[in-house]
Chains A and B, each alone.
Chain A
Amino acid sequence: MSSYADPPGTASDTAAAATHEPLKAVPVPRWGQWVAAAVVIALLAALVWSVATNKNIQWSVVGQNLFEGTVLRGLWVTIELTVLAMVAGIALGIVLAVMRLSHNRVLRSVSGGYIWLFRGTPVLVQLLVWFNLALFFPRIGFGAFSADTNALIKPFVAALLALALNEAAYMAEVVRGGILAVDPGQAEAAGALGMTRGLTMRRIVLPQAMRVIIPPTGNEVVTMLKTTSLVLVVGAGDLLTRTSAIAAKNFATIELLLVASFWYLVLTSVFSFGQAHLERRFARGVAGVQARSLGQRILANLKPGRVAGGAAR
C-alpha cells in the first residue's frame, strides 16, 4: 500500500504523480473498516473451527480421496467437458450472433428462434432430452447412413451436446453485445476500402469486439465449470459423478462433497488468473483506463512496478 489513500478508479493519477515528490498525508482513519474486519475474522474462525473439529467429518477420508485415481479421472472429464463445450459453444455462438445481425431475415429469425428455445428451457431438461433421444428418434441419420441412437449418444456425448448447444445460445448474446459495442465507423471505413461484410466482420469488427466479449466469456467458463456437475444425472463420469459413486459405497457423503468442492475451487481459481492475463492482451490499442475485472485489479496490485492505465501506454 502506498502511504496515502488510493481511492479505487483513480489509479492512473499515480502515474502522473510519480514524476513529482510523492505526497505524504495522514490517511483518513477508517475505524469502521477495522471493526468490520475483526467481526468477520472472528466469525470465520468460529466456522472453520466448528468444521475442522466436527466429529461428523472424517478428514482422513477427505485426504484419502483428494488425489484418488477415479477422482482425478473425473476431474479430467470435467475439464474436458468444460473445454469442449465452451469451444463448441463459442464457435456456434459467434455464428449465431453474426446471423442475428445479418441483413438476411431468414438467418436472423433462425438465430432468434434458437436463442429463444435454448435460453428458455433449463439446461438440466436439455441434458435429459439429449440423453433420452433414443426414445423418440431410435435411429439418426439419412437412409443408409443411419445409426442406432443409443450407440451414438453415450452419456458423455449427451452431456457435451447439451452443454455446448445451451452455451451457444448464451455466447450468441455475449458476442452480439461485443459486436454492437464496436464503433460503426470502423465497419464503415472497412466498407469504404472495398472490404466485404464478411471480411470486415472477421478482420475489423470481431477482433475489436473481443475486448468486450472476453470478460463475460470468462464468467461463462466459470459457470460452465460448475454447470458440468449437472451431468451427474446422466452419469457422464465427471468429477461429481465419481465422488458421488464413491460416497454411495462408503457413505462418506459430506467428505466426498468436500473433495469435489476442493477441486471445483482449484479449477475456478486457476482459471480466473488466466482470465485477467487474457483481458490485458486484448486491450491493445485502447486509449485510457479501461474497466478492469476484480481479478485484474488484484493482479495489478500485486505487481508494484506496473503503470496503471492499460497496456497501450
Chain B
Amino acid sequence: MTAPMVKGVPMVKAEGVHKSFGHVDVLKGIDLEVAPREVFCLVGPSGSGKSTFLRCINHLEKVDAGQLYVDGDLVGYRRSGDKLHELREKEVAAHRRDIGMVFQRFNLFAHMTVLENVMEAPIRVRREAKAVVRARAEALLDRVGLGAKADSYPAQLSGGQQQRVAIARALAMEPKLMLFDEPTSALDPELVGEVLDVMRDLAESGMTMIVVTHEMGFAREVGDALVFMDDGIVVEAGHPREVLANPQHGRTKAFLSKVL
C-alpha cells in the first residue's frame, strides 16, 4: 500500500530480458523495476508472456538475454570478472528459498495434510527445528483463516481454501518477495474474495508482491504500480489508478475494455 519512500536497491530489476521457446520469442526485452514493499501488478492478454516473466524471476525459466536482478543479485548467474557462470542447482535452489510463488492451480502437495504442506520446506530446506516450524505454520494458517483445517488433505478443501494454504506455505519460508500467477483465475467467483483478502492483508504488512491478475479492482485498490504487457513487451506502465482510468496506448485501451 505505502509507496516506497527510500530509493534503495530495487527488489526486482529487469534489463532487456529476452526469452524464447525454440523459435517463439515470448519475452522481447522487458525493462522494469519493482521497489521493496511495493505491490506490482502485471496485466495483459493471454500468451503475452506474464507467466514466463514471473517464472524467470525465480529461475524456473532461464533468461536468454538481458539481466534480471533480485535484491541486487543476478538471477541464475554469477559474475566473476567479465565472465558469467551459470549457477549450480544448489545455488539456484538457495536463491528460490527467499522468493515465494503462488500458482494458478495451487499445486499443494496432494499426499500431505495442510499442516505438512506448510511445514515441509522450512524443515527440509531451511533445516529448522520442527517445534519452531510447527508454531509458525499454525500461526500462518490462523492468519489465512484455516487453523481448523490443519489436518485436512488438499483434496478435501475448496479452491479458495487451497489457495490460502498455498499462500501460507510460501510465507512459511519467510520470503522477501512473493510472486502470484493469476492466483484467483481457477476459482469460482464466490471464492475469489477470500483469497484477495489474504493478499490485501499481506500487502498491508509490507510484503513486496508481483501479482499477475485479471482482477482490476484489486490492482486499483491495492496496487502501487501496474504494467501492461502485450506480445512480450511492456506497453504501458504507471500507477494503477492512472493507467486503468486513463490508458495511453491503443492496445491497453482495447485490453481494458474487455476485462473492466
Contact = CB atoms under 8 A, between A and B. Distances in A.
B107 A194 contact: no
A4 B125 CA distance: 54
Interface string A189-209: 111111111010001100110
Contacts of B121: 190, 193-195
Contact of A284 (B103, B111, B124, B169): B111
A312 B173 contact: no
B109 A189 contact: yes
Interface in A23-82: none
Contact of B107 (A185, A203, A284, A312): A185
A15 to B, nearest CB: 15
A286 B125 CA distance: 26
User: What does DSSP make chain A's interface, helix, strand, loop or mixed?
Assistant: helix
Contact of A191 (B96, B105, B124, B153): B96
Interface in B118-137: 120-121, 124-125
Interface residues of B, number: 33
Interface string B154-168: 111000000000100
Contacts, number: 79
A185 B55 CA distance: 13
Given A204-B109, A285-B111, A285-B112, A312 B156 contact: yes
A192 B106 CA distance: 12
Interface residues of A, number: 24
B125 A192 contact: no
A140 B33 CA distance: 64
A186 interface: yes
A72 B170 CA distance: 57
A194 B58 CA distance: 10
A285 B162 CA distance: 13
A286 B155 CA distance: 6
A188 interface: yes
B120 A203 contact: yes
Contacts of B99: 192
B97 A193 contact: yes
Contacts of B100: 192
Interface of B: 58, 60, 89-90, 93-101, 103, 105, 107-112, 120-121, 124-125, 153-156, 166, 169-170, 173
Given A188-B107, A192-B101, A208-B110, 15 more contacts: A185-B103, A185-B107, A191-B60, A192-B99, A193-B96, A194-B93, A195-B125, A199-B125, A208-B111, A284-B111, A285-B110, A285-B111, A286-B110, A288-B155, A312-B155
